Structure 1
Amino acid sequence: MTIASRTVLITGTSSGFGEATVRRFAAAGWNVIATLRNPPAAPDFPKNVLVKRLDVQDRSSIEMAIAEGTAQFGSIDVLVNNAGFGLHGFFETTRREKMLQQFEVNVFGLMDVTRAILPQMRAQRHGVILNVTSGAGVFGLPMISLYAASKFAVEGFSEALMHEVAPFGIAVKLTEPGGVRETRFGQRAGAEASGALDIADYAPLQERATAVFAAIADSRSHGTSDEVAEVIVAAATDGSTQLRYVATDGIKPWVEARRKNGEDAYIETMRAAVGLGAL
């Protein structure tokens, strides 16, 4: 199969990682189906990009985008599940409806898109499903408990699904980026937590955790959405069975603490990072 005949469908392409990934695949000669909730607001993509509406909370839009993309290009070889958002705030202070929305978008929406593409990939006996998670799918920090829970869920789902679909020639992969400055994640996450309950007991920890996130933001100049997109495209096209790809250097020390150290050393590292000290 030539590159010109390959097709990728990407969700959440209005900005950030999704937009950059569309441009990377298009520049490499792929047919690209760029999906987002509001197509009239789509960026000015290259001519080999088909823009379609897809809201991960609307299953009919998922099915329509896949059907129209398949009709245009013949088949879909790669799915990049990028759509998602992040809540910022303490679990106890976050209203239940926001908690449900976090999982409806980041977990169940991703699952619905994956379920919709699997029959085609299974029939053609090849395909790649690449799920964009986060460093927050590897380690937990205060004030992103619900976001981390959703990304941990996607990590577990992807690892198990990998085994289920491997007999059909389908690879499942995870790309784990940290934050990058131009995604404005912290600003959007803070907005998503608006209307949260006010519990004074959390104020001291909030001050420390906010300082940690500010320090992370200040260190992001070396990471860009395009660099994350480069990792996404490489992971989707390397032909390997590798599951996880860490996409930004800034989170690598914490990822290594999680995956290479013992539990006690890892917990100590993370508590020190948020200024809590030893248990």
Structure 2
Amino acid sequence: MPELPEMETYKILLNQKIAGQVISDIQINREKSINLNSELFKRTVLLQKVTNVYRRGKHLLFHLQNGQVMLLHLMLGGWMFYGLESEKPKRTIQVQISFGEYHLYFIGLRLGYLHLYSQQEAEEKLSNLGPEPLSSDFSLNHFLGIISQKHGRLKTTLLDQEIIAGIGNCYSAEICFHAGILPTKDIDQIVESKRSQLYHSMRTVLQDGIKHGGYMENPLFKGDTLTGGFNERCNVYDREGKNCNRCGAIIINEMVSSRKTFYCPNCQK
């Protein structure tokens, strides 16, 4: 599932490609991927300029000139591709938005969605999300204050979007590895110095994820060399049974709250 770095990469690249461009056509091949009658959806967005693309947590917000917002959540298996008809991936397209001869294809929206709202409605839909972990307003003291009120396993807390927005299975594993903390550990057992390290690790890993285009391998457009660059930099995520890059121990995969949880039993205490 795309997480903060993947969606931030999409945001950056899409602003380069479609910000300021006018929507010339839209095709909806799966009604369940949208929240309105398809004809109403089309009439509302057709011939509208995309003024900007923003990110909030794991969501993208496509702001239109008429004040409407297309709110995207890719969920599990969702991705996008931008290009000519001849470059289109051989995959089922749920929604296609056209900008002249170029098209933005939404793929794998079986669980994900592209919903249309007013700006106020979009803000209300996202109002339950926690703070952005890379925001300048999200200080160490803010983080420590949040953590001090939580109990239970660290992995479960990091995944809770109402506590901190944007972190999922991949980056929670990588953050815990960077901090040298077991993701299965109860928060009450983590001393304050390690909690501070967790904050700095979170910012370091997420920034590195953005710098290298996230871990998802599908390129956004032909010639895209950024997207997916972080996949090779993962130290524990999806590396069960392989040797730790730091100490050589075997990476373990354990289920925590029905989620695969990867860690090094030697580096993480």
Q: TM-score, normalised by structure 2?
A: 0.32
> Greater strand share, 1 or 2?
2
- Say which structure is richer in helix: 1
TM-score (norm 1): 0.31
